[in-house]
Structure 1
Amino acid sequence: MSAHLLIGPVLRRVVGDKATIWVETTSPAQVRVEAAGGGAGTASTFCAYGHHYAIVVVEGLPRGAASEYRVFLDDRKVWPQDDSPYPPSVIVTRPADDAAPVSMIFGSCREATPHATGRRLPPDALDAYARRLMADPRDPDRRPDLIVLLGDQVYADKTSAKVRRFLRRRRAAGHNGPAREVVSFDEYTKLYLESWRDPEIRWLLATVPSVMIFDDHEIIDDWNTSASWRADMSAQPWWRERIASGLVTYWIYQHLGNLSPDELAADPLLAKIQSVPDATDLLHDFGRSVDEPSSAENVDGPYQWSFVLDIGRTRLVMLDNRCNRVLTPGRREMLPAPEWGWFLDQAHGDYDHLVVGSSLPWLMPPAIHHVEAWNEKVADSAGPRRAAFAETVRRAFDLEHWAAFRRSFDALTELFRRLGQGGRGDRVGAGGAYAAPATISVLSGDVHHSYVARALLGPDVRTPVHQLTCSPIHNQVPAPLKPLMRFSWSRVAARGMRGLARSAGVERPPVAWKRLAGPYFGNAVSTLRHNGPQAQVILEGTTKQGDLFTVAKLPLTD
């Protein structure tokens, strides 16, 4: 039987004259990608859990050009589809000149279908973006260099009616697990099939490069909130399969495409997978091994999901805020020591703009920040009743952002302060002088409202530092929570919650911040643009008709 495309093509990384294309096929195949005007690549599919995947490195692309491309399975063209109403997909390479402007869109939290859980959601912002880009996919003013997806690309714990019907059949057949949540690899694949075969999304992912990082819903709500949370989840009979399957599917569907062509060539796991007829056992063992909890004493560190890439004069560092947290009470950290050291190395270098992708916001509404700092302090108290009460509150209200990992919050703030001051030991500018970055931006999602905040790090910090939060792409916050979240930005709420934190002995945070735009509660997608030393962010929401409109447009440089 001839192989067909099940998902894809998904255009992932474009580096110089190379690009990577990811596909899932219905059966084993030789996958070939040919670009008009030059450039081609071939790869065989690998097999895991009865599914077939390939990632093709396309080489020899013309620089600074937009090239239409075709995908062949065993010499049979399968993309673009002959009856497609959409424009042909293109691979756009950047010019050799690193000074060309850089543009990236970002956001998080996307439920797959309009009625995924029986709720009527506002129009999908990524669908709307795709429709607008279809008017002219080659237009540099419309087309971004990169899509940055900041978590909750799929919801393992909040499934659609279609997936729930599939799960009912699975549970009736003896496959254990929660009735409405996925557990096994096969169940996880249904989430990606549902999400990435949305026609507009499929075209967009085939046309614009993308990078992705997980948040909690790829696994389960509140993933790795605390050590006691992990202990409770580990006691569930289905948990080991859930976490292993979730991490393996994330590696295949999302993380593999985050790697550059050179990184793919050097990746030992991919080499092993491609060398065996069936990689199921390899990946099953991998999924179980990479869930080992981090600890402050772990010198070598766990598998690293964080990654870095440069686009022109912009450096993007994507951080894992979930899997590798250190959850030791009193020594909580967002990243284990080896990974933090790696991040410090990436934060120092030859670039103009530093962008940090963090699924969880660094700067939250001030009142919520103080509550999270209070909660962490009380949870670490010697009194077992106080600690247990704080743990209950931590889980009930999702108090698990950077503020609830105070050691990491302070360290990240100090890093930005030092980078923004410039000076010896930080970065070398083009003229040999030590220089601060033109801007530092933290891209985040998770919190189901969008905003822009400016960090106030003091007069000696020359670099503007901003928190840029865009969430959700396709979801919504419950209506009763909106006024509470608005209130959490107020000075009154901040003073009250700061008093609460002070009563527990929490020191004042080492940074102040002010909100410049938002909060906006609709579905949204944001654009970050860099042009020389200048930077700008545009937040766009969706109308009831499914079109985009500008919510806020702000310069990020003085």
Structure 2
Amino acid sequence: MPESRLLIGPLLRRVVGTRATVWVETSSPAVARVTTASGAGGTAATFTAFDHHYALVVVEGLTPGTAEPYEVWLDDERVWPQPDSKYPPTLVRTRADDDSEPVHLIFGSCRETTQHATARRLPPDALDAYARRLMASGDAAAELPDLMVLLGDQVYADQTSPTVRKLLSRRRHRPHGAPADQVVSFDEYTKLYLESWRDPEIRWLLATVPSVMMFDDHEIIDDWNTSARWRAEVKEQPWWDERIASGIASYWVYQHLGNLDPDEVAADPIYARVVAARDATSVLREFGAQVDAHVSEAAGDPGTPGVAGGDPLGGPVRVERYQWSYGLDIGRTRLVMLDNRCGRVLDRSRRSMLSPQEWAWFVDRAHGRYDHLVVGSSLPWLLPPAVHHVESWNERLADSRRPRVAALAERLRRAFDLEHWAAFDRSFESLAALFARIGTARTNGAGGGEGGEGGEGGDTPALVGAGPAYPAPASISVLSGDVHHSYVARARFADEVATPVHQLTCSPIHNQVPAFMRPLLKLGWWAGPSGAARALARSAGVRRPGLRWRRLTGPYFGNAISSLRHTGRAAEVVIEGTGKDGVLRVVGHQHLTPQTRPLPARPLPRS
């Protein structure tokens, strides 16, 4: 069967108990079927949107504690694995019923297309190197991680390859004023994923290792939702409406749909409308527009219009604020992935990284019985201290009532990407207070808002609530990317917190930081520059942060992929970078928990 029937995939996304989800894109409508030798399987008809065809197959009947190859069929013809494939079989591995089994996550962010397609000469792709090493393993099933966590910039809509730019130059009908080197339409977005995910090694890896994903700005555009002023300016562009609707819709199809576990897929209101429609183009276009309209409301835009139009179920597509954040448990590890872009509140008086509703959801999800809490945040919570203070200073000046001061601060914000948690000071302090609460000896399940009463304002984070008491976890880790260098930092709180709290940043997978920035980022950890930046922030009225932090490992500026391992109540992280030969080597290794007993003997990843 020609390979062209299966355009992208299969992507093995979620494995939950004895079930798994497998995502595919096909060249024409079909019935997709996934089977294993043991009799497990599932079937789903493709849905159509923008003349493209997709299916998410729920596989049932897997056996706990096994790893077995699977096949993909379109109608009655097998399309995966390919008959002439030189790669090992793609496997679906399930965890044993015993929750004490170790948990292994790999993570990273910021991956431009492969070396032959990108316009720049970049160091070797770390994810490609990881896939090659796993394929060469004598026992790949034993070395498979439980989950791959991709933390943003899986594709670059605003920094396209020569191949995509050539395609754009041939397009006859594009919105007036659309950037010549950036994608705008849904169909143009599909070319980014086609280019990136059909790389042979990456295709095998995505078919074998379960994955979850979260967008950052480049899936849409650089500086996406950095401020209310930015939104007001970009909305004046005649191509923006199509760009944002297409970007949101394509992210939902290619990335977010696979983040949902089998039960959540069935309950998702957009998925129900999409699969019920003969052609879901209008459903997804209107959904993307509504998502952006909700952000406009949070930015304080007056008179945000409703979304007109309808779908085959009757009536307009109306959804409440869509939540991109999600959570999942693997053994005794809880992972919560946070949307750092689309759910922001940008109104000056209520500026925050998450909406009050999403913050309340996060607080509730962060409480529970588990050994390790892992928070996925595309943007680092803890930056080099000097950079943190500069961002806090800039946020305060950007809100100045003096127009010239505010305009200058806004230009600096965009020029230097000063938009991390430090630039949302109330959210930064709320997250610190939440971690301190969870990390004490015992903690209550909570609700509550972000900052003040119900998250609507005030200076003191409100993390109050009632509920069952839970023991403190063994570790809290924030996984992040975005900043194009990798490091490990440890948080230090004013009051004693039993649980160690770490920032684990791994970026880029395939990109690079400008050479002139590297010394500045190193200096950002030094006491002298940090003190000077703190004084600058204090001069603008910024309060001292409620915690301190110090670097343990890094910074490393090459392409990298990281592994986080939980064995019982012990945790460790390993950062691996690629050399010129494209081989991964350990560049950082840090224990994240006190070593009261040695970890089980386990060699570091092989070079």
Give the TM-score category using the shorter length.
over 0.9
**C-alpha deviations, 1:332-364, integer Å up to 9, x for none?**
100000000000010001211000000000000
**C-alpha deviations, 1:12-53, integer Å up to 9, x for none?**
000000000000000000100001223100000000000000
| Deviates most, 432-441 or 337-346 | 432-441
User: 2: CA distance between counterparts of 1:226 and 1:174?
Assistant: 27
Instruction: Tell me which amino acid in the other structure corresponds to 2:59.
Output: V
Instruction: Tell me which amino acid in the other structure corresponds to 2:577.
Output: G
CA RMSD of aligned residues (A): 1.7
TM-score of the pair, normalised by structure 2: 0.89
Deviation at 1:296, TM superposition (A): 8.4
Deviation at 1:119, TM superposition (A): 1.2
Instruction: Tell me which amino acid in the other structure corresponds to 1:447.
Output: V
SS class of match (1:357): strand
Deviation at 1:416, TM superposition (A): 0.3
1:471 corresponds to 2:475: no
The structure 1 segments of at least 4 consecutive aligned residues displaced by more than 6 Å after TM superposition are none
Counterpart for residue 16 of structure 2: 15
Q: 1:296, 1:331 within 8 Å by CA — same for their partners in 2? A: no
**C-alpha deviations, 1:118-171, integer Å up to 9, x for none?**
21100000000001111248546521000000000000000000000000011x
| Deviates most, 452-461 or 469-478 | 452-461
Counterpart for residue 226 of structure 2: 225
User: 2: CA distance between counterparts of 1:356 and 1:12?
Assistant: 19
1:309 corresponds to 2:328: yes
SS class of match (2:35): strand
Counterpart for residue 544 of structure 2: 508
Q: How does 1:16-31 map to 2 (within 5 A)?
A: 16-31=17-32
Counterpart for residue 84 of structure 1: 85
Counterpart for residue 528 of structure 1: 564
SS class of match (1:103): strand
Counterpart for residue 547 of structure 1: 583
Q: How does 1:147-546 map to 2 (within 5 A)?
A: 147-170=148-171, 172-176=172-176, 177-292=178-293, 293=295, 294-295=297-298, 302-426=321-445, 434-458=470-494, 460-546=496-582
| Deviates most, 113-122 or 385-394 | 113-122
Distance change (3 Å), C-alpha of 1:509 and 1:15: same
| Deviates most, 212-221 or 289-298 | 289-298
User: 1: CA distance between counterparts of 2:246 and 2:220?
Assistant: 9
**C-alpha deviations, 1:60-82, integer Å up to 9, x for none?**
00110001000000110000001
User: 1: CA distance between counterparts of 2:409 and 2:30?
Assistant: 54
Deviation at 1:423, TM superposition (A): 2.3
1:126 corresponds to 2:127: yes
In structure 1, the gaps of 5 or more residues are none
Q: 1:315, 1:353 within 8 Å by CA — same for their partners in 2? A: yes
Q: 2:368, 2:470 within 8 Å by CA — same for their partners in 1? A: no
Deviation at 1:433, TM superposition (A): 7.0
User: 1: CA distance between counterparts of 2:361 and 2:203?
Assistant: 34
Q: How does 1:5-154 map to 2 (within 5 A)?
A: 5-136=6-137, 139=140, 142-154=143-155
Distance change (3 Å), C-alpha of 1:366 and 1:140: farther
**C-alpha deviations, 1:158-206, integer Å up to 9, x for none?**
0000000000011x45554110000000100000000000000000000
Instruction: Tell me which amino acid in the other structure corresponds to 2:414.
Output: R
User: 1: CA distance between counterparts of 2:469 and 2:444?
Assistant: 11
User: 1: CA distance between counterparts of 2:300 and 2:336?
Assistant: 25
Distance change (3 Å), C-alpha of 1:350 and 1:42: same
Distance change (3 Å), C-alpha of 1:424 and 1:54: closer
**C-alpha deviations, 1:532-553, integer Å up to 9, x for none?**
1000000000011111000011
Q: Indicate the percent of aligned positions where both proteins have the same amino acid.
A: 65
**C-alpha deviations, 1:430-453, integer Å up to 9, x for none?**
xx9741011000000000000000
Q: 1:66, 1:138 within 8 Å by CA — same for their partners in 2? A: no
User: 1: CA distance between counterparts of 2:443 and 2:265?
Assistant: 35
SS class of match (2:167): helix
Distance change (3 Å), C-alpha of 1:525 and 1:518: same
Q: 1:151, 1:446 within 8 Å by CA — same for their partners in 2? A: yes
Q: 2:103, 2:330 within 8 Å by CA — same for their partners in 1? A: yes
**C-alpha deviations, 1:311-340, integer Å up to 9, x for none?**
001000000000110001132100000000
SS class of match (2:136): coil
Distance change (3 Å), C-alpha of 1:137 and 1:412: farther
In structure 2, the gaps of 5 or more residues are 302-318, 447-467, 595-607
TM-score of the pair, normalised by structure 1: 0.96
User: 1: CA distance between counterparts of 2:54 and 2:241?
Assistant: 24
SS class of match (1:472): coil
Q: 2:13, 2:23 within 8 Å by CA — same for their partners in 1? A: yes
SS class of match (1:343): helix
